[in-house]
Amino acid sequence: MTGGWLRPAVFGAMDGLVSNFALIAGMDGGTESGSRFIVLAGLAGLAAGAFSMAAGEYTSVASQRELARAEIEVERREIQRHPTDEERELADTYRAKGLDPDLASQVAKQFHADPDQALEEHVREELGIDPNDLPSPVVAAASSFVCFGAGAFIPLLPYLLGASTVLPALVLSLTALFLCGAVVSRVTTRSWWYSGLRQLLLGGAAAALTYFVGTLVGPGIG
């Protein structure tokens, strides 16, 4: 029961941190260290990424919500047109879960005494959807926007405070990547150190590759 905010929040923060860290590393590799262009690129990456993530999350969750509602309406019509068959189908579902056949029939009959309760039960059992807890596209978009911006701000912060090399951003970003990975392990089966180290290595590799590209391309521009 998260209202659709947890997944976009987690992935928004991760994506913001990795993408802007890599962008800033690439700019640092291809331009004079500490230049205003790095700060400008970091701010542009933060804004563009946050708006893009928010738009993508809104569209994705809105489409998911519309699909769920369409499936719920199909189930509603089936209950209205074939109530006996649907009641039998619900009873069969309970029997498959181990209920006594007579008890399963009684429970299904009791649910079908109220069309709204019958619909909710069929949707949960057959579609795996809670009709009262569909994700909100606005909440998903807002959480993605805020968390992407927060993640993207981390590697930019040292430059805003006057850093002249990429080293402070590197240390801060790698630490944040490890901590984010460790936090995500709370909802997975992986250990905190494994998830943290995996995220650190992946984010660090992305930044290293982008830095290398910057050193190759940067001197030839302008």
- What residue spans define the domains of the chain? 5-68+138-220, 75-127
Place of tokens 């569909």: 134
Above pLDDT 70, what percent of the chain?
Answer: 96
Cα–chain center distance at 65: 15
Closest CA to 129 of 79, 188, 75, 187: 75
pLDDT in tens, 101-113: 999 999 999 999 9
CA dist., res. 34 & res. 154, Å (int):
16
pLDDT in tens, 137-196: 999 999 999 999 999 999 999 999 988 888 999 999 999 999 988 988 877 788 999 999
pLDDT in tens, 63-78: 999 999 999 999 999 9
Q: Across residues 122-134, what is the average pLDDT?
A: 91
Angstrom distances, CA of residue 144 to CA of 14, 44, 96, 139, 177: 10, 17, 40, 8, 17
Pick from 45-59, 176-190, 200-214: least confident: 176-190
Assign 120 a pLDDT band (cuts: 50, 70, 90). Answer: very high
CA dist., res. 143 & res. 95, Å (int):
41
Q: What is the per-residue pLDDT for 41?
A: 94
pLDDT in tens, 3-22: 578 788 888 999 999 999 99
